[in-house]
């Protein structure tokens, strides 16, 4: 964990935004797979991790705004726990490491908060255990729970600006992901299975003391945006899309994507469309700067994609008009990027409207394409985010649009119908926003076609 002063400062900053009441931060539990004691890997709640730093299950913290104190609620191991799991560092000791000196048994949380319900600020719960806990604490049904908007806004404001020590962690995570991606590019050959690449990456990450920061997308069907099927055998002529990242022991995530040929070279059309995505990627990258609206960068990248799609014969007409009419969404159905930090989609549990948008410029929840843009607001120095344009040819969507005669003035359906099996291409890197521009975080991961070919020409022995 970080130095205790960091956690104390973070908590003090948070409570300085309030005048009275209590902030309640709930940690996660170990969730059962098929019975209570056979559990999924434990992952602490990221806001809890940010302010409290302790990676143990079944904890809660109350930040008393009136007295400026933090009380931790949790239980020390019993002799039964020690028999089955071995003696571990005491909770009191863990609390000291993060500057917390008041520890009470978990059950006392209820008494501690009794009769103060109206003054308790809490975040939206996303795990059933914490939903039930809040129901009991607040003495109201789950659908009447009212997470605190001021708390959400305060947490988002704080976690959106990464400190130097957080950047160090993020770069550690990106560096390992870069080597993991190189391994994937080098080892992929015709005949191997998607899961073999994925397993090798997991092995590599775990050897570096890290784990996947999300279920990796390793697929020849890259047009399926969150494709978790990994059973295909790969053949010469296929593309492989690898969207994967790792997280450090402190929980900081990386999120990189490369798309490369299974054989040593792309086909002509794959090369052409790869260049289109790479061009859009670079144009977006060049626009990153504090003060610029990410939605504008997204739209600019969409225009670059459409210009390329016009040149390659998939689209026609004027690129600007096509984007204004959302015709590009047939090929790019999602957003250009999102915040990155302790979560791969940082703070998504707190609500996209609060993380990626503002009251005066709210999220568009309806328009196909732009409704999937997680981040739209003006960038600030200290933001860390992904840039990830792509081209995805989805046969079912193409059919639907054609049947509905959608955007015939912009889309060459005849040409597109000949390439419905193309798949998808995405390129993704991670960036820190600075006052005068941006910094691409971590080691450089090959992205030019010739650089990828060089990796393919030097496979692992």
Residues contributing to the site for Mn ion (CB under 5 A): 255, 386
Query: Distance between CA 40 and CA 26 in Å, rounded?
Result: 18
Return the number of the residue (398 or 430) whose C-beta is nearest Mn ion.
Answer: 430
Return the number of the residue (255 or 346) whose C-beta is nearest Mn ion.
Answer: 255
Query: Distance between CA 295 and CA 374 in Å, rounded?
Result: 9
3-state secondary structure of 35: strand
Smallest separation, CB 82 to Mn ion (Å) = 41
Return the number of the residue (69 or 348) whose C-beta is nearest Mn ion.
Answer: 348
Query: Distance between CA 453 and CA 260 in Å, rounded?
Result: 9
Return the number of the residue (285 or 307) whose C-beta is nearest Mn ion.
Answer: 285
Query: Distance between CA 265 and CA 257 in Å, rounded?
Result: 18
Smallest separation, CB 281 to Mn ion (Å) = 13
Asked if residues 335 and 372 have their Cβ atoms less than 8 Å apart, the reply is yes
Return the number of the residue (133 or 387) whose C-beta is nearest Mn ion.
Answer: 387
Q: Which alpha helices (DSSP H) does 288-405 contain, by range? A: 294-311, 319-324, 352-356, 395-403
Smallest separation, CB 308 to Mn ion (Å) = 21
- Which stretches does DSSP call E strand in 100-255? 102-104, 120-122, 211-212, 217-219, 239-244, 246-247
Strands 102-104 and 69-73: parallel
Smallest separation, CB 226 to Mn ion (Å) = 10
Return the number of the residue (55 or 386) whose C-beta is nearest Mn ion.
Answer: 386
Smallest separation, CB 347 to Mn ion (Å) = 14
Query: Distance between CA 256 and CA 212 in Å, rounded?
Result: 12
Query: Distance between CA 454 and CA 451 in Å, rounded?
Result: 5
Query: Distance between CA 195 and CA 312 in Å, rounded?
Result: 33
Asked if residues 435 and 290 have their Cβ atoms less than 8 Å apart, the reply is yes
Length of the chain as a residue count: 461
Smallest separation, CB 182 to Mn ion (Å) = 19
Return the number of the residue (330 or 385) whose C-beta is nearest Mn ion.
Answer: 385
Burial class (CB in 10 A: 0-12, 13-18, 19+), 211: middle
Smallest separation, CB 428 to Mn ion (Å) = 5
Return the number of the residue (166 or 255) whose C-beta is nearest Mn ion.
Answer: 255
Smallest separation, CB 348 to Mn ion (Å) = 11
Q: What does the DSSP assignment read for 406-452?
A: TTTTTB-HHHHHTTTT--EEE-BEEEEEETTEEEE-SS----SHHHH
Return the number of the residue (130 or 254) whose C-beta is nearest Mn ion.
Answer: 254
Smallest separation, CB 213 to Mn ion (Å) = 10
Strands 429-434 and 437-440: antiparallel
Smallest separation, CB 149 to Mn ion (Å) = 27
Return the number of the residue (103 or 350) whose C-beta is nearest Mn ion.
Answer: 350
């Amino acid at each position: 964990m970080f130095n205790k002063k960091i956690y104390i400062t973070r908590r003090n900053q948070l409570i300085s935004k309030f005048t009275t009441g209590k902030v309640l931060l709930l940690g996660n539990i170990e969730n059962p797979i098929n019975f209570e004691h056979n559990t999924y890997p434990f992952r602490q709640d990221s806001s809890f991790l940010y302010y409290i730093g302790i990676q143990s299950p079944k904890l809660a913290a109350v930040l008393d705004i009136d007295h400026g104190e933090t009380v931790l609620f949790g239980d020390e191991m019993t002799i039964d726990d020690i028999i089955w799991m071995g003696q571990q560092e005491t909770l009191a000791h863990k609390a000291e490491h993060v500057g917390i000196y008041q520890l009470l048994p978990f059950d006392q949380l209820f008494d501690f908060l009794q009769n103060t319900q109206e003054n308790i600020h809490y975040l939206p719960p996303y795990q059933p255990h914490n939903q039930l806990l809040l129901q009991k604490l607040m003495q109201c049904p789950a659908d009447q729970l009212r997470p605190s908007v001021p708390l959400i806004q305060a947490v988002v404001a704080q976690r959106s600006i990464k400190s130097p020590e957080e950047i160090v962690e993020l770069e550690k995570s990106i560096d390992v992901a870069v080597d993991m991606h190189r391994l994937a590019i080098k080892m992929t050959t015709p005949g191997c299975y998607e899961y073999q690449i994925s397993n090798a990456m997991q092995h590599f990450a775990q050897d570096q003391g890290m784990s996947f920061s999300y279920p990796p997308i390793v697929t020849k069907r890259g047009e399926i945006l969150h494709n978790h099927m990994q059973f295909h055998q790969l053949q010469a002529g296929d593309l492989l899309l690898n969207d994967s990242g790792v997280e450090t022991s402190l929980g900081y995530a990386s999120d990189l994507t490369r798309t490369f040929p299974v054989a040593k070279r792309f086909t002509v059309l794959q090369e052409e469309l790869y260049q289109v995505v790479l061009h859009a990627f670079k144009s977006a990258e060049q626009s990153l700067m504090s003060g610029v609206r990410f939605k504008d960068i997204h739209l600019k990248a969409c225009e670059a994609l459409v210009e390329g799609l016009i040149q390659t014969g998939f689209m026609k007409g004027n690129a600007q008009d096509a984007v204004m009419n959302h015709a590009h969404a047939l090929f790019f159905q999602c957003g250009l990027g999102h915040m990155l930090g302790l979560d791969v989609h940082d703070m998504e549990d707190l609500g996209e409207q609060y993380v990626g948008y503002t009251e005066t410029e709210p999220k568009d929840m309806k328009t196909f394409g732009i409704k999937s843009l997680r981040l739209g607001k003006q960038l600030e120095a200290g933001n860390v985010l992904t840039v990830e344009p792509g081209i995805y040819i989805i046969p079912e969507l193409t059919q639907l649009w054609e049947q509905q005669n959608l955007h015939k003035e912009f889309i060459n359906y005849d040409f597109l119908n000949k390439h419905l099996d193309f798949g998808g291409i995405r390129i993704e890197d991670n960036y820190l926003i600075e006052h005068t521009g941006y910094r691409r975080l971590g080691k450089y991961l090959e992205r030019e076609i010739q650089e990828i070919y060089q990796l393919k020409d030097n496979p692992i022995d």
